[in-house]
Amino acid sequence: MVLAVFGEKLLKIRLTWKRRQRFDNDYYNLWMSQLTAQNAVIVARIARMDYPMEWPDLLPSLVQIIETPNGDERLIHDRAFEMLYEVLHELSTRFLSASRRQFAQVAPRVFQTVANAYVNYTSNTISSLSSSTTSDPSTLLTELGIVSACVKCLRILMVSGIRDVHKYDETKTFIQLGKQRLEEYMSIRLALQQQGSSENIQEMVGTIIEDHGSLYLGLQKAHPVSCALCPAWTDILRYYWQAIVHEGTRLTDRYKTGQPVDIPVFEQFLLQGMLLIKETIKNAAQNVDNPDSEVLSVTEEEKTLGLEASTIINTQFLTKDFVNVCAETLITKYMLLTPADMEKWEDEPEGFANAIDSENWEFELRPCAEMTFMSLLTHYRDQLCPILLDLVEKVASVNSFQELLFKDAVYAAVGLGVQSIYGRLDFEAFLVNRLIPEISQKGSGLKILHRRIAWLLGRWVNEGISADSRVTIYQGLLELMVGEDDLVVRITAAHSLRQAIDDWDFEINILLPYLEPAMDLLLKLLNEVEESDTVMKLISDLNTITDRTGEHMVPYAPKIINLLIPHWQRAEDNPLFQSALVVTFTKITAILKEQSIHVQHFFLPIVQYGVNKENKAHVYLLEDVLDLWWTMLQTAPQSNPELFSMLPSAIGLLEYDIEGLRKILKIIESYLLLDGQTTLQQCAPQLFSGLATYIGSTRDEVASSISYVGETALQSCSVQVYGEALVQSSLLGNILSVFIQDELYAHAIMSYMTLFARLAICDAQFFLNYLRMASQQMTGTTSDDFVGNVLDRWMEKFDNIGHTRARKLNCIALTNLLRTNDPVVLARLPHLMAIWIDLLAEVNEVEDDLFLYAEADLAGDIAELDESAEKDRRNKLRREDAVYTTNLSDMVRQTLSLVEQHYGGAQAFQELCLSKVDPTVLEQVNKALTNQ
């Protein structure tokens, strides 16, 4: 209802704008900024749909209003640029090529207008801010807002509308001028801070500086070659780099003296500068490393320009001296732990430990510096590795806290550059001679070093470490996890232990002597931490260790469960945390195998909670609790009342069209394998009715899964148990309707017909009786013609069955129907003989074990346990299945003999039946039976 009302209002607004076909300057004179902001958004949404076909004069009108305002020029420009930005933003995000071409066509004209305004307003604001006379603050703020809007508009136009910015004088001039204006605004910002001027004005100037940085980053991402070819581009990079060096020096000087920084660091500006440097390094290296790219979309001109851009950057900016200075600056000034870091370490140790692994490196100064260093070292490893290795030697001994921080930064560089340094640093000797002795050193100030060593071991342990060194790493990490050490150190060591175990070269025998103390320390740590994020990460570590160690974790399962169950009870308001716990419970259940029956009383209430639609958390928990539920069923050695108390919930989930349908079907199949008779006695009507709702699905995987579960149900016990419920449900009727209408893919139809085949094998007469009853319901008469038509269609579509097991199943079913001596079936003997000829030859060419696997088993996208009690139950059922046990040639001979007896002997059989069969077919049948 709400959407309908909103849609109606939006339509009225749209019609109003289209009817006016022009802008009224009175609109731009509105002083209500909130109203104009909303109007700008509405116009932009309409423009996305209507421009240019239905509203061609939108941008020309905006340009005209900006160029020739009628009224308060400043106010009109403020409103117009606000609207222009919203419109350009919407138009630039259209993905169709025609829309992009249209945007590119109008971009140069709009760019000219916006650039002129930018020149005027930047001159005005810089003049006002630089003069000794005081300007009206509101007027100044308005003009600064216009400058900000101009820069945003120019960014969109240059990024999405003007591809080759280096080819046009206007864009090159703007880039040059923008760099000058950026420098001026930076100087003004510093002066404003020193003077203690209005915070609003300081904030607005800072916003303009950040807008310039966003413009440069957008240009570099969209047009890395073109912007590098602009004359002023290297000047822009140098300016940012000089600021990074200057600010880094200022910060480290303050760290040494222990005094607070008098003027706060402009962190966002430095971040933008580092991102520009990082992308410059990557882009220059790509063009040099791949000069002869064979990508078809790259033209020869683009290859030439790419090499030219790389040459400019490498000769004018990324020089050998710059690379050395850049690495030194990043390590010595920006990769150091700051006083703020140390304060957080002390006050919020868990938060500090969690922040280390944060992926939001683009938004934090030290992580961004680390990623920039990684990029630099990757592309200049030959130049930088010797320098870095020399630094490693220089920090062997430290005598002050500042030297300790520098050592931490050097070790961070060694860990970050593991891919580049590998093979150049003898890490195993470094481990034994340097790191292990440093781990043994004790003292409160050494926690910084211990935390870094723990992290460093996690970075290097996956790089071809020998077995002896792996043992040394286990010992070192366990020493760092002891309870007397710092919490941050212990958490970091736990994460690194997980990395050491989750390795391609991991050997369980090497870990086993250390598994017990490792689990004791990890569980003790889990019991001490309080923040849910920390618990989730440690649980993730525990899950990985469980995966790699398997049954060796069984002795620790009771401790883990007793420790984590209280966390589940306290995590009611944190479904993501609950989900992580469920994953752990699932892994524990899997490793316990048949012993999992002793922990079901813990986990069944969790499953019940997760599948309950009344709980809001079920949206987050459903997929994971289904895994836990299915794992409990797979590992259960025998049925029990507790497990079967959940069966109605499984059947009930069939009522919802959920993504986990196939997993629900797997759970129901597990119940049928566990105790098919109890399952069907308890829920046969609900089960068959639930399956019936999905008959007719066009998704092949759904058809296959539904058929597979239904087939398992029919196999699990005698027809007397479920026959009445099966007939009364609409399952068979829906399959018959789908089969007769023939509107689905043949593969899906024949998947459903597998249920008819299985029923015909279980009780052929019951199946024929059902067809005659269905004829009465569908046609009003009990007609043999209806039954005959179904059999004819079935045989005609036999070749649509692809899997050999399914083909044999259907052949046995049709042959079993023949044994009833029903006249309708006997009349189809010639058609059935043609199927025999194909199948007798086919089954003779395949291994018997092929008939143990159904087509659904080959999907493989829903992982089941490699070893479980359920696999044994399934194998037992398969080996007792007629598809596996029946010798088809013997069955055909016996069936022909029974039919012959029905006709009164060989002569009567020949005269009444075989004489109507093509002699060639008879000859082929005899040959096929003889060759068996």
Lowest mean pLDDT among 221-235, 775-789, 813-827: 775-789
Burial of 133 from C-beta contacts in 10 A (0-12 / 13-18 / 19+): exposed
- Taking residues 125-136, what's their average pLDDT? 80
| Short-list 309, 312, 319, 310, CA closest to 165 | 309
Per residue, the 3-state secondary structure of 682-748, as one string, reads: HHHHHHHHHHHCCCCCCCHHHHHHHHHHHHHHHHHCCHHHHHHHHHHCCHHHHHHHHHHHCCCCHHH
Specify the range with the lowest mean pLDDT, choosing from 601-615, 623-637, 773-787.
Answer: 773-787
Band of the pLDDT at 1, cuts 50, 70, 90? very low
First to last CA, the chain: 71
User: What are the pLDDT digits (tens) for 529-553?
Assistant: 988 889 999 999 999 999 999 999 9
* Distant-in-sequence, close-in-space partners of 919: CB < 8 Å, separation ≥ 6: none
422 DSSP assignment: B
Name the nearest CA neighbour of 437 among 449, 445, 419, 422.
Answer: 449
Q: What is the mean pLDDT of residues 201-225?
A: 94
- What's the Cα-to-Cα distance from 668 to each of 256, 673, 688, 856, rounded to whole Å? 67, 9, 11, 15
pLDDT at 825 over 70: yes
Query: Which amino acid appears at position 881 of this protein?
Result: D
Q: Which amino acid is at 493?
A: A
Average pLDDT over residues 136-140: 87
Q: Does the pLDDT value for residue 784 go beyond 60?
A: yes
In tens, the pLDDT along 620-645 reads 899 999 999 999 999 999 999 999 99
Q: What angle do CA 874, 877, 880 make, to 5 degrees?
A: 150
Residue 20 pLDDT grade (very low, low, confident, very high; cuts 50, 70, 90): very low
Q: Is the pLDDT of residue 149 over 80?
A: yes
DSSP state of 858: G
φ, ψ at 724 (rounded to 5°): -65, -45
Amino acid 931: pLDDT: 72
Given this model, what pLDDT does residue 858 score? 53
The band of 748, judged by pLDDT with boundaries at 50, 70 and 90, is: confident
- Record the tokens describing residue 603, joined without a space: 């986990």
| pLDDT for residue 21 is more than 60 | no
Amino acid letter at 596?
A: S
Q: Provide the percentage of residues in the chain whose pLDDT is more than 90.
A: 54
Measured CA to CA in angstroms, residue 621 lies from 510, 567, 632, 645 at distances of: 36, 15, 16, 20
Average of per-residue pLDDT across 81-98: 89
The mean pLDDT value for 339-367 works out to 86
Residue position matching structure tokens 């023939």: 742
What CA–CA distance (Å, rounded) separates 758 from 781?
Answer: 26
Whether 25 shows a pLDDT value over 50: the answer reads no
In single-letter form, the type of residue at position 917 comes to V
- Give the phi and the psi of residue 422 in degrees, each rounded to 5: -55, 130
pLDDT band at 96 (very low <50, low <70, confident <90, very high): confident
Amino acid at 270: L
Structure tokens, 388:
């870095």
The 10 Å Cβ neighbour count of residue 890 is 11
d(CA 263, CA 270): 14
What's the pLDDT at 5?
38
Residue 849 binned pLDDT confidence (cut-offs 50, 70, 90): low
Specify the 3-state DSSP secondary structure of 425.
strand
CA dist., res. 118 & res. 108, Å (int): 15
Per-chain mean pLDDT for the chain: 87
DSSP character string of 372-389: HHHHHHHHSHHHHHHHHH
Instruction: Please give the pLDDT value at position 583.
Output: 94
Average pLDDT for residues 563-569, to the nearest whole number?
89
Q: For residue 336, how many C-alpha atoms fall within 13 Å in the half-sphere facing its CB? A: 22
Q: Does the structure show a pLDDT above 50 at 509?
A: yes
Burial 905-925 (b: 16+ CB within 10 A, else e): eeeebeeebbeebeeebeebb
Q: pLDDT per residue over 864-923, tens digit each? A: 888 899 999 999 998 898 888 888 899 999 999 998 898 888 888 888 888 888 888 888
Q: Which of 43, 1, 36, 38 is nearest to 20 (CA)?
A: 43
Q: 282: which 2 tokens?
A: 């990557």
Q: In the structure, how many helices (H) and strands (E) does the chain have?
A: 48, 0
413 touches 388 (CB < 8 A): yes
**Residues sharing a CB contact under 8 Å with residue 844, sequence separation 6 or more, in sequence order:** 931, 932
Q: Is the pLDDT of residue 271 over 60?
A: yes
Which pLDDT score, from 0 to 100, does residue 817 have? 94
pLDDT of residue 6: 38
For CA atoms 920, 922, 923, 928, the dihedral sign is positive
Tell me if 103 sits within 8 A of 63, measured CB to CB: no
Give the mean model confidence (pLDDT) for residues 187-210: 90
Please determine, for residue 392, whether its predicted confidence score (pLDDT) is greater than 80: yes
289 pLDDT higher than 60? no
Structure letter (DSSP) for residue 502: S
Contact by Cβ (8 Å): 562, 584: no
Report which residue type is found at 903: Y
Contact between residue 688 and residue 720 where contact means Cβ atoms under 8 Å apart: no
- Number of residues written out for the chain: 932
Percent of the chain whose predicted confidence (pLDDT) is above 70 = 90
The predicted structure's pLDDT at residue 855:
57
Element containing residue 133 per DSSP (H, E): none
| Structure token digits, residue 753 | 């017909």
Q: Full-prediction pTM beyond 0.75? A: yes
Is the pLDDT at 672 greater than 90? The verdict is: yes
CA 489, 492, 498, 500 dihedral sign is negative
Q: How far is CA 861 from CA 415, 701, 853, 856, in A?
A: 36, 11, 15, 10
pLDDT: is 864 or 147 the higher one?
147
pLDDT class of 179 with cuts at 50, 70, 90: very high
pLDDT at 83: 92
Question: What is the rounded distance in angstroms from the CA atom of residue 210 to the CA atom of residue 204?
Answer: 10
Better pLDDT: 381 or 803: 381
**Largest Cα span, the chain:** 125
pLDDT of residue 27: 53
Query: Does residue 484 come out as left (phi exceeding 0), alpha (psi in the -120 to 50 range) or beta?
Result: alpha
> In angstroms, what is the C-alpha Rg of the chain?
38
Separation CA 786–CA 772 (nearest Å): 8
Asked if 913 and 829 count as a contact pair (C-beta separation under 8 A), the reply is: yes
pLDDT of residue 799: 86
CB 873 within 8 A of CB 716: no
- CA-CA distances (angstroms) from residue 100 to 82, 95, 153, 302? 22, 7, 16, 20
Q: How far is CA 277 from CA 137, 284, 372, 373, 710, in A?
A: 36, 11, 7, 10, 62
At 28, the pLDDT band (50, 70, 90 cuts) reads low
Quick one: which of 552, 565, 485, 571 has its CA closest to 525?
485
Residue 134: alpha-carbon gap to chain centroid = 55
Q: Which amino acid is at 378?
A: T
Q: Is pLDDT at 24 greater than 50 in this prediction?
A: no
d(CA 884, CA 381) in angstroms, rounded, equals 62
Helix (H) / strand (E) containing 759: helix 746-762
Residue 606 has pLDDT above 50, yes or no: yes
Contact between 928 and 839 (Cβ < 8 Å)? no
Residue with tokens 């900016």: 317
